[in-house]
A and B are shown apart, each in its own frame.
Chain A
Amino acid sequence: MSQRLQSIKDHLVESA
């Protein structure tokens, strides 16, 4: 579960 959230966060950081 936390891995999914981590991947969402990483994706947000990359997109910014």
Chain B
Amino acid sequence: MNSNRCQTNEVNKFISSTEKGPFTGRDNTLSFNKIGSRLNSPPILKDKIELKFLQHSEDLNQSRSYVNIRPRTLEDQSYKFEAPNLNDNETSWAKDFRYNFPKNVEPPIENQIANLNINNGLRTSQTDFPLGFYSQKNFNIASFPVVDHQIFKTTGLEHPINSHIDSLINAEFSELEASSLEEDVHTEEENSGTSLEDEETAMKGLASDIIEFCDNNSANKDVKERLNSSKFMGLMGSISDGSIVLKKDNGTERNLQKHVGFCFQNSGNWAGLEFHDVEDRIA
């Protein structure tokens, strides 16, 4: 804790704080708040994202769990960046940072214009700094590629959806869906081809059962006569004696949908009302 307070470098102070573990201790919280207040950051909120950050903060010290993102411009133009000091005890973060840092970093174009007009005398050659760091006196954090520690490679945190990957997934999904639909059509054709005769046999049996049941259970003669003269009982009689059979319609220009219906065995005409396909869509 005392060593933290003696640190003059904000970055090193932050690193040494994170190496102690998650911000659960009082000392760490205090030092973190101090840094936060200097950078004018909002007060710490105990929300879901922060809890996830704290939960994964130990992984940050054990492996390279952060990723580099593209340079971005910060609003705070006055804050000076200080590179991690070179020493043997430096953290894995500092080593990875130095190793991955691009050798020739071009600041954003607006900064280049600003430097041409204002800091022309202060700029020095980039080749003087082989490790990729600018000199401290004329470098501001606005043109520095920021290493974002809140983007983890772990699956527990939300990632922005990559549109390229998204399109690949969509293409694969469409392909699978098309093949699945094709299989369904083939299966349906096979089933309907083999089971049409079985279906007809079952229909004959059921029609006979219904006629027999109605004959035996009609309450009085009047009801029995009305029932026997109905279209339904007429159809049941025709099915049971085989004068009406099942027929598969392979679709016409008018009715594209395949269907199975009743037809007269002698003439081949459809029995009952003509089948009209209704398109299955939401208006």
Query: A residues near B, CB below 8 A?
Result: 1-2, 5-6, 8-9, 12-13, 16
Contact = CB atoms under 8 A, between A and B. Distances in A.
Contact of A2 (B199, B213, B217): B199
A2 B261 CA distance: 11
Contacts of B209: 9
Give the size category of B's interface with A: 10 to 19
Chain B CB within 10 A, most for which of A2, A12, A16: A2
20 contacts: A1-B199, A1-B246, A1-B260, A2-B202, A2-B203, A2-B206, A5-B206, A5-B207, A5-B210, A6-B202, A6-B206, A9-B209, A9-B210, A9-B213, A12-B210, A12-B213, A12-B214, A12-B217, A16-B213, A16-B217
A6 to B, nearest CB: 6
A6 B207 CA distance: 9
Interface string B169-213: 000000000000000000000000000000100110011011001
A12 to B, nearest CB: 6
Contact of B203 (A1, A12, A13, A16): A1
A9 B213 CA distance: 9
Contacts of A12: 210, 213-214, 217
Contacts of B206: 2, 5-6, 9
Contacts of A2: 199, 202-203, 206
B213 A13 contact: yes
Nearest to B217: A16
Interface string B84-107: 000000000000000000000000
Nearest to B202: A2
Interface in B111-145: none
Nearest to B213: A12
Nearest to B262: A1
A9 B202 CA distance: 12
A5 B205 CA distance: 10
Nearest to A15: B217
A12 B213 CA distance: 8
A8 to B, nearest CB: 7
A5 B203 CA distance: 7
Contacts of B213: 9, 12-13, 16
Contacts of A16: 213, 217
- What 6 A-B pairs have minimum CB-CB distances, sorted nearest first? A2-B202, A5-B206, A16-B217, A2-B203, A2-B199, A9-B210
Nearest to B219: A16
Contacts of B199: 1-2
A2 B196 CA distance: 10
A16 to B, nearest CB: 5
Contacts of B246: 1
Nearest to A16: B217
Nearest to A13: B213
